[in-house]
Amino acid sequence: MARFLLLVASAFIVNTATAGLIPESSNPCQLGGLQVTYRDERYPCGETVSLDVFSNGKPPGDVTLDADVTEDNKYYTLVMVDPDAPASRGQAYWLHWLVINIKGDNFASGYHGSGSGKMDYAPPSPPRGPAHRYQFFVFEQPREFGNSEITAPDRRGSFDLGAFQSEYNLDGPVAGYQILTQNV
C-alpha cells in the first residue's frame, strides 16, 4: 500500500510539473502573505466578489507583501493568472498581469506601480458560467533583472507559469492571494 501511495504521489508531481502549473489543489490563500485592495476595499483571500468591482479596468489600488515575507534588498515578481480559463493546449493559465523588479521595501509599503511591467494589467473578465479564480503569486528573484532580460510573453493565453519560473530561476511562490468572480 505504501508503494502504491508513493507511486500515485510521484505521478501527480510529474504531471503537475510537466503541465507547468502550481497544483490546482493548492490554494494561494494557504501561502498567505499578500493583501490586495480594489477600489479602496481590501477583500479577504478566497472571497467571491461582484464582477462590478473590476469594471473600471484599473489594477488593484494596493498590493502589499507582508513584512515577514519581504526583505528590503530583494526583488520580487508579481504574477496574476486565471487557472480556470480555457486553454488551447491542455492546462495552462491566462496571464492577467506580470510585473518584475518590485523592490522589497516598495512591496512591504504597498505596490503602487514600481517595478517593470512586462504584461499590462487585464481585469477579470470571465465568460458566463461558474466563478473563475484569479490568483496572485509573488516570486523572489535571484537579483534585479535588466529590462531586456525578461521578455513579455507573446500572448496571455496558455501561459506556462512553471516554465517562466524555471527559466528565470524564481524562488517560491513566497506569497499568494486569490479572489473569485463570476459573470452571471
- The 10s digit of each residue's pLDDT in 48-82 is 999 999 999 999 988 998 888 888 899 999 999 99
For the stretch 154-183, pLDDT in tens is 889 889 999 999 999 999 999 999 999 999
Per-residue pLDDT, averaged over 115-131, amounts to: 90
pLDDT in tens, 90-107: 667 999 999 999 999 888
- Residue 92 to residue 72: CA distance in whole angstroms: 32
Contact 140, 76 (CB under 8 A): yes
Distance CA 136, CA 134 (A): 7
The structural domains of the chain, ordered by start, are 28-145+152-181 (3.90.280.10)
- Angle ∠(110,116,119) on CA atoms, nearest 5: 100
- What is the reported pTM? 0.83
Give the mean pLDDT of the chain. Answer: 83
